[in-house]
Structure 1
Amino acid sequence: MTDDREYKRLVWHSRRGMLELDLLLVPFVKEAYPSLPEADQARYRSLIECEDNDLFAWFMQRSRPEDPDLARIVDLILQRVQPD
């Protein structure tokens, strides 16, 4: 039950109020998050604690996170919307 509650919290916090972020984060948390390895799930949980302005800059590829863990999860999310 705690896992279900935690997952619902993640879905809720993935809604950022900025359409560009919502379109990336909500589908990612619903479709990809459950199958991620635990380390990447932890990275995502850290990511959603970041400021919207930082997230927007990272996802619009205007800058990169300094933290390599955050950079990895940003890359995973971007790969879902920009496959090679």
Structure 2
Amino acid sequence: MMDSRYDRAARQRIRWHSRRGLLEMDLVLTRFLDQHFDTLGDEEMDAYVRLLELIDTEFLEIVNGKRDVDDPALQPLVDMLRAV
């Protein structure tokens, strides 16, 4: 991880906030975190944090491709989530 606005403590908080109320989301996010979290750049981390602000059902619909993301800046991260 290069110089980042997200220090270790911030990343640990974000990882904690990745725990969701839906098992399906927990499974997807756990795989995503295991595969990509340590290599996310600041822009990707910004997008991930914004996605975490969504309610679980909306987030799941986006990840499952049943709903489009409103902000095109979030699409690359959504694509990463869909690929896990």
Q: Give the shorter-chain TM-score range.
A: 0.7 to 0.9
Structure 2 residues not aligned, in runs of 5+: 1-5
Change (3 A) 1:30 1:10: farther
Point out which structure has higher relative CO (alpha carbons under 8 A, 6+ apart).
2
Unaligned runs of 5+ in 1: none
Which residue in the other structure is 1:73 paired with?
A: 77
TM-score normalised according to structure 1 size: 0.81
Deviation at 1:64, TM superposition (A): 0.9
Tell me how large the CA RMSD over aligned residues is: 1.6
- TM superposition shift of 1:78: 1.1
Moved over 2 A (4+): none
Task: Find the counterpart in structure 2 of residue 9 from structure 1.
Answer: 13
Give me the identity figure in percent. 32
